Amino acid sequence: MSEVPPVFPGGEVTDDLEITRSLVVPAAELQWRFSRAGGPGGQGVNTTDSRVELRVNLWTLSTLSPSQLERMQVQLGHRLVDGVVTVTASETRSQLRNRRAARARMAALLRSAVLAENRTRHPTKATKGSHRRRLDAKKQRGQTKNLRRKPDM
């Protein structure tokens, strides 16, 4: 009979973070910060560091290819601060559940960024109807302004 390894509560939050089959963020590159969360919890909320902040530095991430890094920087540009992506979780009173939520959010965020395609905009030609409507509106506006003039004597 084979021996089953012991299961520690929350062991999965210390594992590597799998983004896709080919992209995994090593656990050593995940930076965790804990602080006191607001919201429900009574007096216990003042003593428990249940709010979780998970940070990943994309610039030092060894598992990213240059093309993946470039795509992530484009997709996550508004969320990057010095190459670091930050996700927070403070919905529950449990630090463990918040850690799981933060890991899931980070994985989803990085997955959507790495799988996103850079779509280029193809300019479209205005239809005859839209062109005609635009010119009609301009003529109508001009006539309205013409009526505001003082009459010629």
User: What is the per-residue pLDDT for 84?
Assistant: 92
Q: Tell me the mean pLDDT in the region 94-116.
A: 89
53 belongs to a structural domain: yes
In angstroms, the CA 153 to CA 148 distance is: 15
Instruction: Assess whether pLDDT exceeds 90 at residue 8.
Output: no
19 belongs to a structural domain: yes
Cβ atoms of residues 58 and 81 within 8 Å: no
Quote the pTM value: 0.66
CATH of the domain at 96: 3.30.160.20
127 belongs to a structural domain: no
- The continuous run of DSSP H or E covering 73 comes out as helix 66-75
33 belongs to a structural domain: yes
Instruction: Assess whether pLDDT exceeds 80 at residue 4.
Output: no
User: What is the per-residue pLDDT for 76?
Assistant: 87
Structural domain containing residue 89: 11-115
| Domain count for the chain | 1
Q: Tell me the mean pLDDT in the region 22-35.
A: 88
Token pair belonging to 120: 């280029």
Q: How far apart are the first and last CA of the chain?
A: 111
In angstroms, the CA 109 to CA 23 distance is: 13
- Structure-model confidence comparison of residues 119 and 29, the more confident one: 29
pLDDT digits (tens, 9 = 90+) for 52-104: 999 999 888 888 888 888 888 888 888 889 989 999 998 888 889 999 999 99
64 belongs to a structural domain: yes
The region that residue 114 occupies, defined by phi over 0 for left and psi between -120 and 50 for alpha, beta otherwise, is alpha
